[in-house]
């Protein structure tokens, strides 16, 4: 008996639904609404990057030795020629004394041989010595002259090491980013493969750059001079701006994912940006201001209380509103022609919007709206006409029944989309979803 009662109730509910459908009445469905509002939107490409100085210089020692003094620390500002560190020169000074003595000896030998050669030259003029003896004396003089020059050069090298190379100086005006040496460390000159940089200097921290990775799918939307917005976790609520300066054409492949390095130039006049900071980067591809926007969920909504044929008829009628009388007639004839040939229409969506019906008829140009008023294109192709895409918005009309309007969509932020509708739709409630 209970089972029979349940079946009777189910049959009664089904009958009510069928009667409502046949009579054109809609079942009682509760909806959640959203408003069509006016605002601003932008389409962007998101990435992440690291902030670095535009130019950095590594300071390496020009000679080997033990660090005796260090005159700077991290974040110190330096000028070109300022002494950063000093190497011990005790052994160099001893070598200088030895080389000075060697120079004196070389000079004495040269001067003695010079006097001897001059005497030999006088004797040769009187034919008291042979030409061979004279040539041998001249060769000895030249060799001693060379020894004297070598002794002078060696002394100059030692003097240069003591007076210049022992003092590690700044090659630029900038700031000390990193000090990697301490007093007492032994350093190796830069000509050796074991040498390492002692200091890292940044030329100018008032101008920084971001190195961001952009995928191969999005790189086509990036161009030089494009506006970029970035944020830092350390400074929530604050947004910084920059511009694309360089696009590195060399791909970076990681786990079969191809990306490209994009360098963004940013200003850092207040010094709030530090080298090595990680930031979230948004490349602004396109933006619109003072336009009508609606939630993306409303554009995806389709009523479940209507069958496909009814939805198709309502959508088709809504698409006719944007056409002239001649275009309407052509659209109606095209729809009737499709309906007559069921074999050709097998699997074909005959309830498509007029946009799809007109694609093959050369009439799309007559349906283009003046999209983009107040829009600022920032990506490639910003000067070309955007593709026309139509979507449906469902609402409750003045008679309390479901109705639909076809709208042209513009850019989307992911949550909201720009739409083109009649002016009287501003502030109108449209269906967002059905409540369960």
Residues near 219 by beta carbon (within 8 Å), at least 6 away in sequence: 247, 260, 262
Round to whole Å and give the CA distance between 120 and 115: 9
| Phi, psi (deg, nearest 5) at residue 325 | -65, -35
Per-residue model confidence (pLDDT) at position 160: 92
Instruction: List the one residue out of 356, 378, 93 whose CA is nearest residue 243.
Output: 378
Round to whole Å and give the CA distance between 202 and 64: 25
pTM: 0.60
Whether residue 84 contacts residue 199, with contact meaning beta carbons closer than 8 Å, is answered with yes
Instruction: List the one residue out of 200, 234, 185 whose CA is nearest residue 76.
Output: 200
Place of tokens 């000895």: 140
DSSP state at residue 223 = -
Can you spell out the DSSP letters for 144-184? HHHHHHHHHHHHHHHHHIIIIITEEE-SSSEEEEEE---TT
DSSP strand pairing (375-377 vs 429-434): unpaired
Q: Would you tell me how many other CB atoms lie within 10 Å of the CB of residue 171?
A: 14
Which residues make beta-bridge pairs with 192? none
Round to whole Å and give the CA distance between 260 and 408: 34
Burial pattern 86-105, b for ≥16 Cβ within 10 A else e, equals bbebeebeebbeebeebbee
Element holding 395 (H helix, E strand): strand 389-396
Packing angle of the helix pair 308-320, 325-340 (nearest 10 deg): 150
Whether residue 251 contacts residue 198, with contact meaning beta carbons closer than 8 Å, is answered with no
pLDDT, one tens digit for every residue, the chain (436 residues): 444 444 444 444 444 444 444 444 455 778 999 999 988 888 889 999 999 998 889 999 999 999 999 999 998 999 999 999 999 999 999 999 999 999 999 999 999 999 999 998 988 888 888 889 989 999 999 999 999 999 999 999 999 999 999 999 999 998 999 999 999 999 998 888 888 889 999 988 888 999 999 999 999 999 999 999 999 988 888 999 999 999 999 999 999 999 999 999 999 988 889 888 999 999 999 888 888 899 999 999 999 888 888 888 888 888 887 676 777 677 676 766 766 764 454 544 444 444 444 443 333 333 333 333 444 444 444 455 556 788 999 988 888 888 898 888 888 888 899 888 877 788 889 999 988 6
Whether residue 69 contacts residue 198, with contact meaning beta carbons closer than 8 Å, is answered with no
Whether residue 192 contacts residue 43, with contact meaning beta carbons closer than 8 Å, is answered with no
């Amino acid at each position: 008996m209970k089972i029979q009662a349940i079946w009777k109730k189910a049959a009664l509910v089904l009958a009510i639904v069928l009667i409502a459908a046949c009579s054109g009445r809609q079942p009682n469905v509760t909806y959640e609404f959203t408003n069509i509002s006016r605002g601003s939107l932008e389409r962007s490409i998101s990435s992440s990057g690291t902030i670095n100085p535009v130019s950095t210089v590594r300071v390496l020692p020009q000679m080997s030795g033990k660090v005796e003094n260090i005159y700077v620390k991290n974040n110190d500002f330096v000028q070109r020629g300022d002494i950063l560190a000093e190497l011990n020169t005790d052994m160099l000074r001893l070598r200088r004394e030895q080389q000075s003595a060697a120079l004196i000896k070389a000079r004495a030998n040269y001067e003695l041989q010079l006097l001897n050669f001059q005497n030999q030259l006088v004797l040769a003029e009187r034919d008291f010595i042979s030409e061979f003896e004279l040539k041998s004396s001249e060769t000895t003089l030249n060799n001693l002259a060379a020894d004297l020059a070598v002794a002078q050069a060696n002394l100059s090298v030692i003097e240069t090491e003591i007076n210049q190379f022992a003092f590690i100086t700044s090659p630029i005006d900038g700031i000390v980013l990193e000090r990697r040496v301490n007093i007492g460390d032994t350093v190796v000159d830069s000509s050796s493969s074991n040498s390492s940089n002692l200091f890292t200097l940044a030329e100018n921290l008032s101008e920084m750059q971001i190195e961001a990775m952009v995928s191969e799918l999005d790189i086509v939307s990036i161009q030089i001079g494009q506006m970029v917005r970035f944020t830092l976790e350390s400074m929530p609520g604050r947004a910084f701006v920059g511009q694309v300066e360089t696009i590195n054409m060399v791909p970076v492949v990681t786990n079969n994912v191809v990306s490209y390095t994009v360098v963004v130039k940013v200003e850092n006049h207040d010094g709030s940006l530090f080298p090595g900071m990680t930031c979230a980067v948004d490349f602004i591809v396109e933006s619109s201001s003072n336009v009508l926007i609606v939630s993306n969920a409303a554009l995806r909504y389709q009523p479940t209380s209507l069958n496909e044929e009814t939805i198709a008829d309502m959508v088709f009628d809504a698409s006719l509103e944007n056409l002239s009388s001649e275009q309407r007639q052509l659209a109606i004839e095209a729809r009737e022609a499709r309906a007559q040939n069921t074999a050709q229409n097998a699997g074909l969506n005959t309830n498509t919007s007029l946009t799809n019906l007109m694609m093959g008829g050369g009439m799309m140009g007559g349906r283009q709206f003046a999209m983009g008023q107040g829009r600022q294109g920032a990506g490639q192709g910003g000067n070309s006409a955007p593709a026309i895409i139509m979507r449906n918005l469902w609402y409750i009309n003045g008679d309390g029944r479901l109705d639909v309007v076809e709208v042209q969509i513009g850019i989307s932020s992911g949550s909201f989309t720009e739409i083109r509708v009649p002016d009287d739709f501003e502030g109108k409630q449209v269906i967002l979803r059905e409540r369960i």
